Structure 1
Amino acid sequence: MPIALRRLLAIAFMLVSLPAFAAPSALLPVQDFARHGELSNPSLSPDGQLLAVAVRSTDADGNSHYQLAVLHLPDLKPLSRLDMARRNVPGQVVWVSNTRLVVALAYESAWLDVPQMTGDLVALDYDGSHKTTLYSLAERGKSIHSQDMPKGSASIAGIPETRNGHIYVNLRPFPSGSYTMYDAHSSMVYDVDTSNGSAQLMGKIDKGDMSFVMHAGIARFAYGSPDAGATINTYARDGKDQPWHLLPASVTGKALIPQQISADGSTMWSIYSADGGPEMLVSSKLDGGGRKVLASDNFSAIGDILWAPHHGAPYAASPAVGRPRFLYLDDSPLARVHKALSDKFPDEVIDFAGRSDDGMVLLIHAYSDRDPGTFALFDRHNMNLRPLFQVEPWIKPAQMAARQPIRFKASDGVELDGYLTVPGDGTKAHPMVLLPHGGPIGVADGWAYDTDAQFLASRGYAVLQVNYRGSSGRGMNFMRAGYRQFGDRIQHDLIDGVHWAIEQGHADRNRICVYGGSFGGYSALMTPIVAPGLFKCAIDYAGVSDWSIGMDYSDTSHFSAGKTYFADAIGDKAAARAISPLYQLDRFNVPVLIAHGEADPRVPFRNATELRSALDKAGKPYVWLSKPKEGHGFYSEKDRTDLLQHMQDFLGKYIGH
């Protein structure tokens, strides 16, 4: 039995409110911040009697191996363990009956630091028997599946409301000569019988990259973006054989994204924004009429939504910005349970990660800024809370730093939000690291455990993260405000945040560094150019030094939506070079640590090698770290540990105590 599984069976901790910060007597080991969790993706069966969980183990060479384990509840007796092929991960697990489940596979590689979904779907009974491949693209251009579905990108879209062993599968068919869903000219949804793989087409629309909302076995709505997120188009139809029609702007406003339809078909719940401001949760008739606002926030879009079983109404919602805080929309039993657990554990955010069909057994996910996450079972029959496992049990929340949501005004008056992670050592002004997030469009930092921020805080640094213009969580207008501003307003938002931290007394103005990955790596190169003298050093991790390289060679450039994104967000090649640090190194006057994966498809490795050559030519200092088997971010624990050790040494030299 794998060690991780034995740990799950033997674990005996209890969920308790976190104690006040207690500074460790010695530095936590670097490798503790590079490790991957051993247990993940728990999924509860419809009757609440079985739990499936992904189990990760590591061999002597550092290679990961995964199993899908199924345990009986409540005694946690192991019933089966299914070995996965090398580098294959159970990315998503969905029960289609009390005894049968579907696994969507992911592939473990260095790609944005997480395993990527492959589109392969496998069904099996809880004991590992009656295994059926529902969909697979095992070889380029050759589909291996048991029903006649086109070659394309497949994903789990949901299950019929009364579980019957079937599953809904979204499919974005590949156009001729292409193997990316982003160039799909149509979108489809199938009802697939998991016992034999037979599939029935339930809906098709001649628009690419669309998602469907099902009701009573009919695809009633389809929505998606035709222009890399600039707009959301929503289509509706009255029946299975009826044509799709685009809902008019008078109904949708800037965005109307259907989420769920009530069991009786009378009510639709949607995410809605009339003018591009923060999206709210609304209810309406199916034609969009009779709209009623259920949850909204003037500053933040609505983020997490909790739903009653069986196409029931939403009973709680939380804004996306800041520390999650739930607004309860009714006094239903699940709302009362959620509120009671939240009150009992005020330092944690409580989320329902699964439930039995009758709603009496709940899979609880609790997390915080200092806790990577804990899973537990709550049995409403006897009101018993039973811990299952911690995501990263070696991380002790009491030793982690508090993460403070912040707001400040940028130099042009726009209010921004972000997070400040400060060591709990009693010092007022710390050396500080500015940590810009990647993206930049449609990504945001949030209030949750952040490995980079906690690692840096454990080394004595305050960490500032700013949700600059272009970030998600504030509405489409705020997100679009980042377009054509990569080298200008976005960088000033970050710099304004640094000045705010200095003025508030959080940062020592003479010891500030900038570190980021992907677009954050670009900002690590760009902010010292825009604000000379403010930073003492920079860490460029998989960052962009020349945007024109990405326009020619990145994976984003290989599909039409990616080309549109570059054109809309940056402009032409001349505009790309004008905002690229590579051509402004005469103004870049800080030492830099350059870390990059040599197999990076998103930000090609040439960004790093050409930057290195230019720095060599200019006689400017840098530290070099590249990994031949890594892509867009270092994934292996060995390589991640090496990166963090390099960062610790580099920061210690230039802004350390």
Structure 2
Amino acid sequence: MTPTTSPASDTDPDPFKGLRIAELAAREYGGTGIVVGEVARAQPTFTRYRMTYSSDDLTISGLVDIPAGEGPFPVVIVNHGYAPPDRYEPGFDSWRIADWLAERGYIALMPDYRNYGDSDPGPNPFHIGYAIDVLNLIPQVASLPQAAPGQIGIIGHSMGGEISLWPMVISEEVDAVVLYASMSGDVALNWAYRRRYWPVQRQAMNATALIYGTPEDNPEAYAALSPINYLDRVRMPVMIHHGTADEWVPYEWSEELFSLMQGAGLDVTFWSYPDGGHTLRGSDFDLLMERNLAFFDEYVRGDVNSP
């Protein structure tokens, strides 16, 4: 297993080394296995546990919902969106989706990522550290005795959708990907948007520019980091959801991604939710999850008639 490349210093002749899509696709992923810990919540249909796993030289924390029964069960990795790390609670932005899936027979893994929860701190330029933590988790799913071999899906919301774009263009083990109100697959666009509109992240974006330069300084390097430029590597079906009244992430970004994927001849579906916000609620959330369940049943579980 190749170790994660740490952010280079401002004197490094190539500060982007190890971060480009081509380099990330060439390295190996995995770890020592998922360690299931204490019970966090017990329900008749599933039990939620605390978990840890390894990501290169880091230990990553998280939660896992395991359905009642012997299994084996298909697995979905649920990638959470942004929260300030000092205010984050495990399960933020992921437990509702995870619980919904677990009640219907899916193991739902909720990684915290590095720098969140009880995870070790680690480098995270352009959120690629978070993506590496998910890429390292995927092969370790096989260490769960209740997991069905070779049945893995991913869903990500907001920043979690952004993080899911790296496995979408890199992993050969993921059967289906759902992007829900996702940030862009264009690293330069995300950097500029966060710097301009999200004051809580502006300082981090400015610090990034001191090391890597701005997209205007290094357009080719930023392009080489961006999953949206590597859609020819996508091997699995993809489903996209977005509310038209999203107040945090531009709805047009999902429209653009859908158009690009369609143009590339990929298996992609786009669902629009009129007047839906960044986080869908009520009947919109129910519809979102019914569509996700049908999608995962077909492409992950492999049986559209599964309970």
C-alpha distance in 2 between matches for 1:433 and 1:504: 13
C-alpha distance in 1 between matches for 2:224 and 2:53: 29
1:502: which partner in 2? 142
Change (3 A) 1:405 1:561: closer
2:133: which partner in 1? 493
CA contact (8 A) 2:61 2:117 kept: no
Change (3 A) 1:559 1:645: closer
Aligned partner letter, 1:558: Y
Is 2:238 the partner of 1:592? Answer: yes
Is 2:73 the partner of 1:422? Answer: no
Aligned partner letter, 2:48: R
1:451: which partner in 2? 96
C-alpha distance in 2 between matches for 1:447 and 1:437: 7
Report matched runs for 1:289-304 at 5 Å.
none
CA contact (8 A) 2:176 2:238 kept: yes
For residue 440 of structure 1, report the CA deviation from its aligned partner. 6.5
Aligned partner letter, 2:145: G
Is 2:78 the partner of 1:438? Answer: no
Is 2:265 the partner of 1:613? Answer: no
For residue 369 of structure 1, report the CA deviation from its aligned partner. 2.2
1:404: which partner in 2? 49
C-alpha distance in 2 between matches for 1:559 and 1:513: 30
Gaps of 5+ in 2: 1-36
Change (3 A) 1:482 1:435: farther
For residues 548-594 of structure 1, what are the alpha-carbon distances to aligned partners after superposition, in whole Å with 9 as ceiling and x for unaligned? 3344556x623655433333357532465443321111112211110
2:125 paired residue among 484, 507, 530 = 484
Change (3 A) 1:464 1:639: same
- Aligned to 1:543, the other structure's residue is in SS state coil
Aligned partner letter, 1:535: V
Aligned partner letter, 1:541: Y
2:9: which partner in 1? none
CA contact (8 A) 2:258 2:269 kept: no
Report matched runs for 1:53-202 at 5 Å.
none
For residue 517 of structure 1, report the CA deviation from its aligned partner. 0.4
1:413: which partner in 2? 57
- Aligned to 1:435, the other structure's residue is in SS state strand
Aligned partner letter, 1:430: F
Aligned partner letter, 1:536: D
Higher relative contact order (Cα pairs below 8 Å, separated by 6+ residues): 2
For residue 463 of structure 1, report the CA deviation from its aligned partner. 1.0
Aligned partner letter, 1:549: L
For residue 405 of structure 1, report the CA deviation from its aligned partner. 1.2
CA contact (8 A) 1:528 1:534 kept: no
1:539: which partner in 2? 178
2:293: which partner in 1? 648
The TM-score normalised by the length of structure 2 is: 0.74
| CA root-mean-square deviation | 2.8
Aligned partner letter, 2:261: L
- Aligned to 1:557, the other structure's residue is in SS state helix
C-alpha distance in 1 between matches for 2:298 and 2:127: 30
CA contact (8 A) 1:369 1:449 kept: no
2:41: which partner in 1? 369
Gaps of 5+ in 1: 1-321, 324-346, 348-367, 371-396
For residue 512 of structure 1, report the CA deviation from its aligned partner. 0.6
Aligned partner letter, 2:186: D
For residues 230-270 of structure 1, what are the alpha-carbon distances to aligned partners after superposition, in whole Å with 9 as ceiling and x for unaligned? xxxxxxxxxxxxxxxxxxxxxxxxxxxxxxxxxxxxxxxxx
Change (3 A) 1:451 1:558: closer
C-alpha distance in 1 between matches for 2:82 and 2:92: 18
Aligned partner letter, 1:639: D
CA contact (8 A) 2:76 2:107 kept: yes
For residue 611 of structure 1, report the CA deviation from its aligned partner. 0.4
2:168 paired residue among 525, 528, 547 = 528
C-alpha distance in 1 between matches for 2:186 and 2:61: 28
C-alpha distance in 2 between matches for 1:625 and 1:527: 21
C-alpha distance in 2 between matches for 1:458 and 1:549: 37
- Aligned to 2:125, the other structure's residue is in SS state coil
Change (3 A) 1:599 1:550: farther
Aligned residues with identical type, % of pairs: 23
Number of equivalences: 256
Structure number with larger C-alpha Rg:
1
CA contact (8 A) 1:553 1:604 kept: no
2:152: which partner in 1? 512
Change (3 A) 1:591 1:449: closer
CA contact (8 A) 2:131 2:164 kept: no
For residue 622 of structure 1, report the CA deviation from its aligned partner. 1.0
Aligned partner letter, 2:277: G
C-alpha distance in 2 between matches for 1:404 and 1:619: 40
1:463: which partner in 2? 108
2:228: which partner in 1? 582
Is 2:265 the partner of 1:624? Answer: no
- Aligned to 1:486, the other structure's residue is in SS state helix
- Aligned to 1:369, the other structure's residue is in SS state strand
Change (3 A) 1:628 1:405: same
For residues 329-382 of structure 1, what are the alpha-carbon distances to aligned partners after superposition, in whole Å with 9 as ceiling and x for unaligned? xxxxxxxxxxxxxxxxxx8xxxxxxxxxxxxxxxxxxxx624xxxxxxxxxxxx
